Amino acid sequence: MNPYEALTEIATLLERERSSRYKSKAFRSAADAIVGLTDEQLRDSASLRRRKGIGDSTFGVIQEALAGGVPAYLADLRERAGVQVASQLRPLLRGDLHSHSDWSDGLTSIDLMVAAARALGHEYLALTDHSPRLRVANGLSPERLREQFEVVAGMSGDGFTLLPGIEVDILDDGSLDQEPEMLDRLEIVVASAHSKLRMERGPMTRRLVAAVSNPHVDVLGHVTGRLVEGSRGTRPQSTFDAERVFEACAAHGVAVEINSRPERQDPPDELIALALESGCLFSIDSDAHAPGQLSLIDHGAERAERAGVPAERIVTTWDLARLRDWTSRSR
């Protein structure tokens, strides 16, 4: 087996199962360390062990791959991953409107996220790093966002488009945590609440309604903020008048995100049903913070299919031209 491919697949599978970021980064660093090495250089064990980025575990994987077999660590990860969640809806998804890079709290560079999206067959991916107030996530100031915009502009081609976007924080009063002129320049704006999630029902309802009524917003992200499993523990969902919020989404053409991360499963099933009844559009997104997490959209597709959400109501089944018609709609 090709050692580079073995190391990269291990990193991808570790990311998909939301393992320690240090583990996945170690395997990606090792893969970077052997790029361009000849077979002779790879088989020079003494030199390889001294190479920066190569540790005991990654060295072992390289040796097993060179011996012609699937490294045991990779075989174990493949078995743990099992068959990815299957649904009839999953092949209809053309892209993803919520992803992060190491410009904010993602694990890898933009180009690795793009490569993974291409490998999945995506036609488009929105890069939506965090906004400035979310300092714990290294949110982007207007200046950094302008700089990122120029980087994103060079990442498209050969049937794939990287859309400039943002996951903008919904402030306490429902306003958005970024300069309006910057939001004007972006193609995808995902608005999400990350703070004061235990706000009382009335103020939280007004907060969310104000956000989705903002003409810059395209997607309402992980609407309840809940966590149902995972290393961060659990968190109850926010309380708000969901009927009012979804009516506002429908009125303004804002898509309700079906967040595909298994630890979120947000919105809950009963709120997907209510949003469907309210006439909302939906966006099935990965909320990926690493390349291997982009494939989590199969979980979101399975939930949407089980809830009876029609494909035509899911904006991420639309082709790029139709998607852009929607984002440029009159608000």
Question: Chain-centre distance of CA 242, in angstroms?
Answer: 24
Spatial CA neighbour of 128 closest among 67, 188, 78: 188
331 confidence band (pLDDT: 50, 70, 90) = confident
For the stretch 31-75, pLDDT in tens is: 999 999 999 999 999 999 999 999 999 999 999 999 999 999 999
Q: Are 75 and 1 in contact (CB under 8 A)?
A: no
Q: Which amino acid is at 61?
A: V
CA–CA–CA angle 287, 291, 293 (5° rounding):
45
Average pLDDT over every residue of 178-190: 97
Mode of pairing for the β-strands spanning 161-169 and 219-220: unpaired
Rounded to a whole number of angstroms, the CA Rg of the chain reads: 21
The reported pLDDT for the residue numbered 231 is 81
For the stretch 200-224, pLDDT in tens is: 999 999 999 999 999 999 999 999 9
For the stretch 137-157, pLDDT in tens is: 999 999 999 999 999 999 999
The reported pLDDT for the residue numbered 82 is 65
The reported pLDDT for the residue numbered 230 is 81
The reported pLDDT for the residue numbered 87 is 83
With pLDDT > 90 as the criterion, what percentage of the chain qualifies?
A: 92
The reported pLDDT for the residue numbered 172 is 97
DSSP secondary structure of 235-297: BPPP---HHHHHHHHHHHTPEEEEE--TTT-BS-HHHHHHHHHTT-EEEEE--BSSGGGGGGH
Spatial CA neighbour of 18 closest among 289, 276, 200, 248: 289
Average pLDDT over every residue of 242-271: 97
Q: Tell me the average pLDDT of the chain.
A: 95
277 burial level (CB within 10 Å; 0-12, 13-18, 19+): exposed
228 burial level (CB within 10 Å; 0-12, 13-18, 19+): middle
DSSP secondary structure of 47-86: HHHHSTT--HHHHHHHHHHHTTS--HHHHHHHHHH-SPP-
The reported pLDDT for the residue numbered 205 is 98
- Domains detected in the chain: 3-81 (1.10.150), 90-327 (3.20.20.140)
81 confidence band (pLDDT: 50, 70, 90) = confident
84 confidence band (pLDDT: 50, 70, 90) = low
Q: Is the pTM of this model over 0.95?
A: no
| DSSP-based three-state secondary structure for 225 | coil
Cis ω for the linkage preceding 267 (within 30 of 0): yes
| DSSP-based three-state secondary structure for 162 | strand
117 membership: H or E segment, kind and range = helix 110-119
User: Residue 83 above 60 pLDDT?
Assistant: no
Residue with tokens 């595909």: 260
178 confidence band (pLDDT: 50, 70, 90) = very high
